[in-house]
Amino acid sequence: MNKITSMEEISSILTDGMTIMAGGFMGVGTPQELVTAMLESGVKDITLIANDTAFTGTGVGPLIVNRRVKKVIASHIGTNPETGKQMIAGELDVELVPQGTLAERVRAGGSGLGGVLTPTGVGTVVEEGKEKITVDGREYLLEKPLRAEVALLKAYKADKAGNLIYHRSARNFNPLMALAADTVIVQVEKIVEIGEIDPDEVMTPGILVDKIFVQGGC
Amino acid sequence: MNKITSMEEISSILTDGMTIMAGGFMGVGTPQELVTAMLESGVKDITLIANDTAFTGTGVGPLIVNRRVKKVIASHIGTNPETGKQMIAGELDVELVPQGTLAERVRAGGSGLGGVLTPTGVGTVVEEGKEKITVDGREYLLEKPLRAEVALLKAYKADKAGNLIYHRSARNFNPLMALAADTVIVQVEKIVEIGEIDPDEVMTPGILVDKIFVQGGC
Amino acid sequence: MINTLINPKQIIAARVAKELKDGDVVNLGIGLPTMVPNFLPADVNVILQSENGYIGLGPLDGDIDPDLVNAGGQPAGIIRGGAFFDSLFSFELIRGGHVDVTVLGGLEVDVHGNLANWMVPGKMVPGMGGAMDLVTGAKKVIVAMEHMAKSGSSKILQQCRLPLTGKGVVDMIVTELAVFRVTEEGLIIEELQEGVDLETVKEKTEAVFKINPSIK
Amino acid sequence: MINTLINPKQIIAARVAKELKDGDVVNLGIGLPTMVPNFLPADVNVILQSENGYIGLGPLDGDIDPDLVNAGGQPAGIIRGGAFFDSLFSFELIRGGHVDVTVLGGLEVDVHGNLANWMVPGKMVPGMGGAMDLVTGAKKVIVAMEHMAKSGSSKILQQCRLPLTGKGVVDMIVTELAVFRVTEEGLIIEELQEGVDLETVKEKTEAVFKINPSIK
């Protein structure tokens, strides 16, 4: 099974109205060429799940600027003024989620859990509309799983089976999102043969990866 | 802060009635020399949290055989006949937990969650006495966090800051337990200087490790 | 190949093998299920997941590495392209639907898809290990077992009597006599094994089952 | 050292630094809190945790690595003995009590230990990022902020008016005028900064506070 993919194939996978997860923290660890593929495909009305909306010109920011996103679920939107502007104008639906809760919700969606009981957000606006569960006398919010149809990830290196290695702080949400989407597409800087990555060093196993896009489009 | 420890120091940490987690899967990834330290220390009435009770002569098995354990929380006890014998005789309290649930409960205990909502065990004896929570029409069991006073772990390599690397399938429960105990003691095969492990390859960060016991007692 | 199937376990394993597709991620219980890969055609490669923390379980290859065992604790190998991880991640894969098929033995199965295979009260209480997570999370659950217990009683029941491993979790049952599917309308017999007739299966099965019209 | 503290932010950062012990795992919010390490004595080494996924945050060291940034997205470095991990693990550390101290800025704090620092309805809604997890999980929460808003109004209130970041989470407040502790009996002033008198603090503080007898 050849997992190496092209811009064309990626475009054919993307459809209007999809829910898409994208790795990255302020653009670091975001698959910039896959974001470009999204922009060029013309796909719109996306629900985007990402840690933040980065900056206007980098990370997932251009998706916001180019109005491809209908709803964003993120922990931080402050560095991309366009997000706040569209939100205030009622053109963009924004669900703000504490960063640790966002990570847990993605993992719950990817690992078959019904949700997560977290103390984070108790007593704040984050608890609005959520079930509160008391365990041994302490209150927790029941935060529900998140899943997506497509995850767009960035790794440093892949082998042809899709085993991934991330680099430095570019790891962030990428490994979690690999569990939580129907189709997982990863942009990599480097591709090697199967067997060249020691199995102890794999950070995301290849069975979770559907498509590999080699940066620069080799 | 020197984290390198000795058998004597470990003995002084262990006290009767403690709750202790031990890494390992059928003895693989169990810190055998730390188990010996427990036996030699004379500590008893332990509550032991481990995946299984291994065999009579290896893993945590000898702790059962030598009657140091009052209660065991594990997913499997079948390979150590002594565990079943003591259980049936009413001398040992055994709580059987599905393996994935055991992993989640340890992680919940180590990561500040109030518990985990899992579909595993619904409709079986595992659900007895537990709260059932319905999320979006599906039933889940609320499984509570587990913590211990001491975790006894095994890693392949540590640097002097306690950063750990595990080897092959000996990783198993060790990384999770590193989060979930007040004092974390790890037996390692090899110790290196700080800076010799690439930060991308660390599997458990040193801030979670209190004591390092170098195998053979260097 | 049929000629070489000299015992019931081989008949069962060979039939289960036909359910696996190239590239499937598969978790095999101990015992009979571990025989399944021996019956895969050369062009079907499955990826075995081992719940103690890896993908790419393979036969022992070279020297024994004491740190490398299968989920039965026995020395094992890893194929090229495999990966190790911790028990938490292993069960994220299992419970999260990332394992395509699990093949498990059974003490009892019933028409509701209930499975009992982890304890016999008063006799055997080994613990459920990873079995409860596997039957809950795997996309397809195949029970591979001999049709009758040693006592001669049927293991396919109207209602399980032993404590369950999972409720309504079984998709398919393969025995040396027949192949059944568990559906919303109950149990359906889909195939008879070579040389077995329907009357024999009815006689040896406590459960009431429907018959796929393809069987005559 | 006092002589070199030419502005309120430096006075605050220098005082917070005294709360940190050698070996502490510390998470610093952006802005003022990032100045704290500049004021640590040579024999106090703290380990900085960065919520985007590492332990051992350090100053930029050598060339910029585009994959290596701090939680503000700025180029950063990692000390020897540091470790990278994913966002899930990062918040396991944070929420699980493995971070000894977090130092955060504040818009409002009140006598109940409530903190508001993430939004001003209708004006600024950047999102809470990791702040809500940090105040919930860190063993000690220090709010490091100027005593008054630009408008001159007190930021230490009887009851926060802005949406909260956390309820009952603050342990200590350090401003350029004073140091307060939040206790079960309410807010207590523990110290006056150099050259500040109690009357000035009372005048500039909306909250009612008790006075540690050591202050005269």
Asked if the structure places residue B137 within a domain, the reply is no
List Cα–Cα distances, C60 to A204, C47, C68, C79, C84, in angstroms: 24, 15, 9, 10, 16
Q: Is D137 on the interface with B (CB under 8 A)?
A: yes
Alpha-carbon distance B94 to B83, whole Å?
Answer: 8
* Residue D159 neighbours by CB distance under 10 Å: 11
Asked if the structure places residue A175 within a domain, the reply is yes
C-beta of residue A88 within 8 angstroms of C-beta of residue B109: no
Provide, as residue numbers in chain C, all residues whose Cβ is less than 8 Å from the Cβ of B119.
Answer: 95, 136-137
D2 band by pLDDT with thresholds 50, 70 and 90 = very low
Q: Is C67 on the interface with B (CB under 8 A)?
A: yes
Alpha-carbon distance A95 to A82, whole Å?
Answer: 15
What is the least distance, in Å, from the CA of A135 to any CA of chain B? 6
The answer on pLDDT for C1 being more than 50 is no
Alpha-carbon distance C89 to C77, whole Å?
Answer: 20
Cβ contact (<8 Å) for D83 and B112? no
Which residues between 168 and 187 in chain D have a beta carbon less than 8 angstroms from any beta carbon of chain A? 168
Alpha-carbon distance D169 to D38, whole Å?
Answer: 26
Asked if the structure places residue B141 within a domain, the reply is no
Chains with ≥3 CB–CB distances under 8 Å to B: A, C, D
Alpha-carbon distance C197 to C189, whole Å?
Answer: 12
Cβ contact (<8 Å) for A118 and B113? yes
Provide, as residue numbers in chain B, all residues whose Cβ is less than 8 Å from the Cβ of D26.
Answer: none
The answer on pLDDT for B214 being more than 60 is yes
Alpha-carbon distance D38 to C63, whole Å?
Answer: 54
Alpha-carbon distance C202 to B186, whole Å?
Answer: 58
In the predicted model, what is the mean pLDDT of residues B51-70? 98
Total number of domains in chain A? 1
Percent share of chain B, pLDDT over 90: 98
In the predicted model, what is the mean pLDDT of residues C33-50? 97
D5 band by pLDDT with thresholds 50, 70 and 90 = low
Q: Is B198 on the interface with D (CB under 8 A)?
A: no
The pLDDT assigned to C2 comes to 47
Q: How many residues does chain D have?
A: 216
In three-state secondary structure terms, B202 is coil
Q: Is C80 on the interface with A (CB under 8 A)?
A: yes
Asked if the structure places residue B52 within a domain, the reply is yes
Question: With 0-12 CB in 10 A as exposed, 13-18 as middle and 19+ as buried, what is D96?
Answer: buried
Provide, as residue numbers in chain A, all residues whose Cβ is less than 8 Å from the Cβ of D68.
Answer: 168-169
List Cα–Cα distances, C190 to C146, C174, C177, C199, C211, in angstroms: 17, 10, 11, 14, 7
B108 band by pLDDT with thresholds 50, 70 and 90 = very high
Residue B11 identity: S
In the predicted model, what is the mean pLDDT of residues B169-194? 98
Cβ contact (<8 Å) for A199 and C82? yes
B142 closest CA partner among A135, C146, A30: A135
The pLDDT assigned to B1 comes to 75
- Give buried/exposed letters for A190-215 (b at 16+ CB in 10 A, else e): ebeeeeebebbbbbbbbbbbbbbbbb
C-beta of residue A143 within 8 angstroms of C-beta of residue A102: no
Q: Which of C72, C91, C165 sits opposite B99 (nearest CB)?
A: C91
C103 closest CA partner among C46, C56, C149: C46
Q: In whole numbers, what is the pLDDT of chain B averaged over residues? A: 97
Q: What are phi and psi of B125, to 5 degrees?
A: -65, -20
For B161, which residue in chain D has the nearest alpha carbon? D81
C-beta of residue A64 within 8 angstroms of C-beta of residue A35: no
The structural domains of chain D, ordered by start, are: 8-211 (3.40.1080.10)
pLDDT digits (tens, 9 = 90+) for B33-49: 999 999 999 999 999 99
What is the least distance, in Å, from the CA of A197 to any CA of chain C? 7
B99 closest CA partner among B131, B76, B71, B79: B76
The answer on pLDDT for C132 being more than 90 is yes
Asked if the structure places residue A29 within a domain, the reply is yes
* Residue C6 neighbours by CB distance under 10 Å: 8
Cβ contact (<8 Å) for B110 and D78? no
| DSSP, residue by residue, C69-122 | B-TTS-B-EEEEEEEE--HHHHHHHHHTT---EEEE--SEEETT--EE-S-BTT
Alpha-carbon distance A150 to A183, whole Å?
Answer: 5
pLDDT digits (tens, 9 = 90+) for C168-200: 999 999 999 999 999 999 999 999 999 999 999
Q: Which of A107, A113, A207 sits opposite C47 (nearest CB)?
A: A207
In the predicted model, what is the mean pLDDT of residues B51-72? 98
Asked if the structure places residue A12 within a domain, the reply is yes
What is the least distance, in Å, from the CA of D78 to any CA of chain B? 8
DSSP D69: B
Is D194 one of the catalytic residues? no
Q: In whole numbers, what is the pLDDT of chain D averaged over residues? A: 95
Provide, as residue numbers in chain B, all residues whose Cβ is less than 8 Å from the Cβ of A112.
Answer: 118-119
C-beta of residue D110 within 8 angstroms of C-beta of residue D157: yes
A217 band by pLDDT with thresholds 50, 70 and 90 = low
In the predicted model, what is the mean pLDDT of residues C2-29? 90
In three-state secondary structure terms, D36 is helix
Alpha-carbon distance A129 to D75, whole Å?
Answer: 38
Alpha carbon of residue C36 to chain centroid: 9
Chains with ≥3 CB–CB distances under 8 Å to C: A, B
Cβ contact (<8 Å) for B194 and D93? no
For D165, which residue in chain A has the nearest alpha carbon? A124
DSSP B118: E
Q: Which of B111, B163, B202 sits opposite D92 (nearest CB)?
A: B111
List Cα–Cα distances, D54 to A151, D23, D51, in angstroms: 23, 16, 7
Pairs across A and D, CB distance < 8 A: 141
Provide, as residue numbers in chain D, all residues whose Cβ is less than 8 Å from the Cβ of B113.
Answer: 95
What is the least distance, in Å, from the CA of B106 to any CA of chain C? 9
What is the least distance, in Å, from the CA of A26 to any CA of chain D? 6
Q: Is A37 on the interface with D (CB under 8 A)?
A: no
The pLDDT assigned to B216 comes to 82
The pLDDT assigned to C4 comes to 56
pLDDT digits (tens, 9 = 90+) for A99-154: 999 999 999 999 999 999 999 999 999 999 999 999 999 999 999 999 999 999 99
Cβ contact (<8 Å) for D83 and B113? no
Asked if the structure places residue B71 within a domain, the reply is yes
Residues of C belonging to the active site? 51
The structure tokens 């251009």 sit at A62
Asked if the structure places residue A124 within a domain, the reply is no
Q: Which of A179, A195, A207 sits opposite C80 (nearest CB)?
A: A195
Cβ contact (<8 Å) for C81 and A195? yes
What is the least distance, in Å, from the CA of C181 to any CA of chain B? 21
E strands, B2-123, in order: 19-22, 46-49, 69-74, 93-96, 115-118
For A138, which residue in chain B has the nearest alpha carbon? B114
Alpha-carbon distance C87 to B24, whole Å?
Answer: 10
Cβ contact (<8 Å) for D85 and B202? yes
Percent share of chain A, pLDDT over 90: 98
CATH number at residue B46: 3.40.1080.10
What is the least distance, in Å, from the CA of C118 to any CA of chain A? 22
Opening angle at CA A127, ends A122 and A129, nearest 5: 155
Provide, as residue numbers in chain B, all residues whose Cβ is less than 8 Å from the Cβ of D83.
Answer: 163, 199, 202, 205-206
Provide, as residue numbers in chain A, all residues whose Cβ is less than 8 Å from the Cβ of D163.
Answer: 124-125
Six token digits for residue B94? 């055994």
For residue A176, give every residue at least 6 positions away whose Cβ sits within 8 Å of its Cβ, in sequence order, or none.
Answer: A103, A106, A107, A110, D86, D87, D88
Alpha-carbon distance A209 to A207, whole Å?
Answer: 6
| DSSP, residue by residue, A117-159 | EE-TTTTSGGGTT--EEEETTEEEEEEPP--EEEEEEEEEEEE
Q: Is A39 on the interface with B (CB under 8 A)?
A: no
Chains with ≥3 CB–CB distances under 8 Å to D: A, B
Alpha-carbon distance A12 to D9, whole Å?
Answer: 54
Alpha-carbon distance B209 to A217, whole Å?
Answer: 43
B128 closest CA partner among B141, B119, B118, B115: B141
Provide the greatest CA pair distance for chain C.
53
Give me the torsion for CA of B177, B179, B182, B184, rounded to 10°: 60
- What is chain D's alpha carbon radius of gyration, rounded to the nearest angstrom? 17
pLDDT digits (tens, 9 = 90+) for A34-91: 999 999 999 999 999 999 999 999 999 999 999 999 999 999 999 999 999 999 999 9
- Can you say whether residue A170 is alpha, beta or left, with left for phi > 0 and alpha for psi between -120 and 50 degrees? alpha
Domain that residue A186 falls in: 7-112+146-214
Alpha-carbon distance A115 to B165, whole Å?
Answer: 30
C-beta of residue C146 within 8 angstroms of C-beta of residue C7: no
C103 closest CA partner among C156, C141, C51: C141
Q: Is B140 on the interface with A (CB under 8 A)?
A: yes
Percent share of chain C, pLDDT over 90: 93
The pLDDT assigned to B70 comes to 98
pLDDT digits (tens, 9 = 90+) for D180-192: 999 999 999 999 9
ipTM: 0.97
Residue B197 identity: I
Strand C178-183 vs strand C186-192: parallel, antiparallel, or unpaired? Answer: antiparallel
**pTM greater than 0.95 (yes/no):** yes
Answer positive or negative: Cα dihedral of A148, A150, A153, A157.
positive
Alpha-carbon distance A7 to A38, whole Å?
Answer: 9
Cβ contact (<8 Å) for B114 and A138? yes
Provide, as residue numbers in chain A, all residues whose Cβ is less than 8 Å from the Cβ of D131.
Answer: 98
What is the least distance, in Å, from the CA of B173 to any CA of chain C? 5
